[in-house]
Amino acid sequence: MTSAQKHDIPDGLNEEYYQISADILGSFNKYRPPLNIFSFKEDVSRIIPYYKVGGRLTNEQIEELLTMTKDGMIFVSREDHSVYVKHISYQLDLVLVDGNLKEKEIADIFTQALTRRLAEFFEQPVKAVFEKLWVDLMVLSEYLYTDIRRSRALVRRLHTEHSLENHSVNTGFLGLALWGKIKEKGFTDGVKRKTFDHVLAGLFLHDLGMAKVPVFIRSKEKPLTGDERSKINAHTKVGYEMLNKLGLRFAEIEQCVTQHHERANGSGYPLKSIKQDFAGSLCAVADSFCAMITKRPYAEPVGLVPASMALAQDAKYDREITKALQMLLMMDLKMKP
Ligand SMILES: [Fe+2]
Ligand SMILES: [Fe+2]
């Protein structure tokens, strides 16, 4: 029995309010919480305002608020969703302890947190910045390993604008949902947690070498010169060297970084190899798909289902993986062409 069930809280309240836990309360600024707070008044069975943003709580109120929160009597409004999402995105592990967030709200929080962390890391690709990103990636891993089907809500939140961080988030989300589809039955029996951590990180980090390519080349709309092209094509090798510097010597991460531009028919780069490891092939499909669905400097975006159909007909990609992608989008996510 949770503390909240001690009280007769009406059904439907959860549609309008989030009940908050002591962990969440503790993450707010003690005197000046970042959003309005409400309490449940049992005798009249109604939610009433407790604190308004801009005010200041007294020491007595802080104590009272903690007791009431532990009793399951304290709420914030879902109207403040954007403030709440932003707040939690800075302390991502809170999503694991907050039982009141809905799956789609958690998906919003992961999208915001990981996009920001990746942007920070690409801006400054050094170990100290990477460590914060890693912590958040492992929160995602914890969340999804419990139930890989949760990744489907993430696929509904893919970025539509292209940037290196947006593309990396999209590739991570899509690649994980796709993996969940491929191994639909008994995911955790077949996939060890460590392997999951490393493929997950590899998907998000596959283009880390691009952080070393000047932005004007990455976003150039005119055709690239030979020199610019070779700088871009070197990103898999540069990425591999960066992994070494970051101490990330894990097979699946390396496979994502070095193999995502290799193709099943040998037309890829840098090695033109025909045989890829599973993580490399998965990342290749996720990466190409995510490149197609956003507007890039050189091409217009393609719809999600048409993009998956194009890949399924392309002999350059692993057929089992592209088929699974089509099934995921059309059957499970019920997306229309
Ligand atoms: Fe790439
Ligand atoms: Fe990519």
Q: 7: pLDDT confidence band, cut at 50, 70 and 90? A: low
Q: What pTM value is reported for the model?
A: 0.91
Lowest mean pLDDT among 10-14, 93-97, 145-149: 10-14
- Give me the pLDDT at residue 207, please: 98
How remote is the CA of residue 216 from the centroid of ligand 1, in Å? 16
Name residues with Cβ closer than 5 Å to ligand 2, which is an ion: 207, 287
With a cut of 80, say whether residue 14 has pLDDT above it: no
Mean pLDDT across 143-167: 96
Residue with the larger pLDDT of the pair 50 and 97: 50
Looking up tokens 């802080």, which residue turns up?
62
Ligand 1 geometric centre to CA of 259 (Å): 9
Query: Residue 4 pLDDT > 50, yes or no?
Result: no
**Residue bearing the bigger pLDDT, 241 or 43:** 241
> Which ligand sits closest to the CA of 259?
1
Instruction: Please tell me the number of the ligand nearest to residue 213's CA.
Output: 1
Per-residue pLDDT tens over the stretch 292-337: 999 887 789 999 999 999 999 999 999 999 999 999 999 999 998 8
Summarize pLDDT for 187-204 with one digit per residue, the tens.
Answer: 999 999 999 999 999 999
The mean predicted confidence, pLDDT, of the chain is: 93
Residue 8 to residues 40, 45, 71: CA-CA distances in angstroms? 10, 8, 12
Mean pLDDT of 214-234: 92
Ligand that lies nearest to the alpha carbon of residue 239, given by its number in the listed order: 1
**C-alpha atoms less than 13 angstroms from C-alpha of 245 in its C-beta half-sphere:** 13
Average pLDDT over residues 245-273: 97
Question: For residue 40, what pLDDT is reported?
Answer: 93
Task: Give the number of whichever ligand sits closest to the CA of residue 237.
Answer: 1
Ligand 1 ion: Cβ-proximal residues, 5 Å cutoff: 207
Q: Say how many Å lie between the CA of residue 73 and the centre of ligand 1.
A: 49
Residue 283: pLDDT over 90: yes
Give the dihedral of Cα atoms 94, 97, 103, 105; nearest 10 deg. Answer: -30
d(CA 135, CA 165): 17
Alpha helix positions (H), the chain: 13-16, 22-27, 59-70, 81-89, 94-97, 103-123, 127-146, 151-155, 164-182, 187-190, 193-205, 215-218, 226-233, 235-245, 251-259, 278-292, 304-312, 319-327
CA of 286, nearest ligand number: 2
What is the share, in percent, of the chain residues with pLDDT greater than 90?
82
* pLDDT tens digits, one per residue of 28-71: 999 999 999 999 998 888 999 999 999 999 999 999 999 999 99
Complete domains list, the chain, with CATH: 3-84 (no CATH), 102-332 (1.10.3210.10)
Identify the pLDDT of residue 1: 36
In the chain, % of residues over pLDDT 70: 97
Closest-approaching ligand to the CA atom of 287: 2
How many A from CA of 257 to the centre of ligand 2?
A: 9
